A and B are shown apart, each in its own frame.
Chain A
């Protein structure tokens, strides 16, 4: 067994997700991502279960594994109890671990995601928080969301939230002692190490692309090259 396949096999999601794929393509038929992107989960499972190291490495460095939306519609429909979505998660995990994610445009998006989501978790206790929701980054959120964000205290108060307040309630300020526990969990379980590894690899890639790191973060968050979509 090759090194990459061996590493994948240690991931519980891989153990759960890949049993015996018969390559029927039901996962692809039901997949929302396959309808939109040049993406075929059937082929990914086929590649992985062939255990070809070179092909698995190419997959880990490709855009392909980042097209899935993790809706898990494939899980319900697989006639053999596989979960293509879980296999994708294990592939992404390994790509992040090995730094291969910086080899593809969609993979490089892992840095702005990591910065935003883990930053929110460790600083506020929430994955998403009004203090970091910038309406300019979310033009789709409409004028009503801009109104909410520009009048946070009034609107959240009107709607019964406890915005930045003490005690329980929606959007309460989560006590520092609890944020300290989250930090400790990240430190003990490899979360902090993962953040650092993704940042280090991304900084190296930014330098290679001739960008400063802020520019790289913005670029990877916003830029979409041609060639990803089925209708191109």
Chain B
């Protein structure tokens, strides 16, 4: 009886995620900083697991960063998104999957606002027609890319070549996850597990053999803060928030950080470099940092994809200690090659943060 009651309560935190046929829109931040993650989202879903994910070259930014930096009016942001919906409709899809948490939050906010204020939706339809001569249907299903990866986590586990387990001890790796604020803090019912029990990332980590670690500031913002990062004068805000998270997670000795949001893996990676350079402090073992991975990067590692194909060389925190811990093979000499194995200049090294 008690178990059934819990199941009923838990049902309120579930999200319907269709299994197939998605219209895909990319993330500005991820294309710049983690382009291989987007490539492997498509490779895993399409090529390895046979799902239909459609992309058109004609989609653009959702303008979410500009909107949350308060540089454009709400109706401009809404009409840009309405155009994305029009491209989805024209392509014959009714499910939209976005690679970006800011976009996911933006799309969700727009759909919810239109639901409450239909006259605004009508106005945006008129404006889109006037500007672009396009019409649209609203998506029946809206997902973040991690929702889909969460749904496919079992299929990924079945094909896994590695598990998130220490080769030396046989113990599960200690994983901390960072959901990203705009995934479910604004509209909890739109995220898997809501804002209280978000399991979109912890579900993946556990399915692939890891142990999820709780820590006091688990749900604290990574510190992006939009204008608080994009304006050079404000970046202390961003750094301070990340610092708070690292100080909080440090006693729990995580092996890796699994992230959801486009900006979060960047900030949780780069601010470790800055803290090391400013204060001489590092949070990993032996002078290294704690690797912060995207869910595609982690899925790719589990599936046996070459770490340098996954783009793990464009993290500032070295990934090699984690690869060694799991027992993943890699060729150090290929880390910084260009296209077609071309040798190019290698990056400089930080002063304090240890890199390979």
User: Which of A's residues lie within 8 Å of B, judged by CB?
Assistant: 11-13, 15-16, 32-33, 35-37, 66, 68-73, 75-76, 83, 89, 92-93, 96, 106, 109-110, 112-114, 116-118, 121, 125-130, 133, 137, 140-148, 150-151, 153-161, 166-172, 174-175, 177-179, 181-182, 184-191, 194-195, 198, 220-224, 229
Contact = CB atoms under 8 A, between A and B. Distances in A.
A91 to B, nearest CB: 10
Interface string B229-251: 01111111101110010000000
A106 B224 CA distance: 16
Contacts of A121: 60-61, 63, 66
Contact of A154 (B56, B58, B342): B342
Contact of A118 (B40, B66, B74, B120): B66
B243 to A, nearest CB: 11
A99 to B, nearest CB: 14
B195 interface: yes
Contacts of A158: 308, 337-339
A37 to B, nearest CB: 7
Nearest to B240: A36
A34 B70 CA distance: 19
B74 A154 contact: no
B111 to A, nearest CB: 13
Interface string B35-51: 11011100000000000
B71 A114 contact: yes
B233 A222 contact: yes
B331 interface: no
Contact of B127 (A12, A35, A143, A189): A189
B3 interface: no
Contacts of A133: 32
Given A69-B224, A146-B348, A168 B181 contact: no
A185 B131 CA distance: 5
A72 to B, nearest CB: 5
Interface string B82-95: 01000000000000
Those 9 A-B pairs whose CB atoms lie nearest each other, nearest first = A69-B225, A154-B338, A147-B347, A160-B39, A191-B76, A143-B348, A161-B35, A184-B131, A127-B65
22 contacts: A12-B74, A15-B117, A16-B116, A32-B220, A32-B221, A33-B228, A36-B240, A76-B185, A127-B61, A142-B274, A154-B342, A154-B344, A160-B36, A161-B36, A170-B31, A171-B31, A178-B58, A186-B72, A188-B79, A189-B75, A221-B231, A221-B233
Nearest to B116: A16
Contacts of A190: 73, 75-76
Contacts, number: 263
Contacts of B56: 168
A147 B348 contact: yes
A70 B79 CA distance: 21
Contacts of A191: 72-73, 76
Contact of B132 (A76, A83, A184, A194): A184
Contacts of A12: 74, 113, 117, 120
Nearest to A192: B76
Interface stretch (B154-162, B252-260, B310-318): B310-318
Interface of B: 26, 28-33, 35-36, 38-40, 55-58, 60-61, 63-66, 68-76, 78-80, 83, 105, 113, 116-117, 120, 127-128, 130-132, 181-182, 185-186, 188, 195, 219-221, 223-228, 230-237, 239-241, 244, 270-271, 273-274, 308-309, 311, 313-316, 336-339, 342, 344-350
A135 to B, nearest CB: 11
Given A32-B223, A113-B231, A140 B79 contact: no
Contact of B79 (A15, A179, A185): A185
Counting chain A CB atoms within 10 Å of each CB, the highest count among B76, B80, B234 belongs to: B76
B127 A154 contact: no
Contacts of A70: 68, 225-226
B79 A189 contact: yes
A85 to B, nearest CB: 8
Contact of B31 (A83, A117, A161, A221): A161
A69 B237 contact: yes
A178 B271 CA distance: 36
Contact of B226 (A69, A83, A130, A194): A69
A72 B185 contact: yes
A107 B57 CA distance: 36
A96 to B, nearest CB: 7
A148 B345 CA distance: 10
A126 B273 CA distance: 27
Contacts of B63: 121, 127
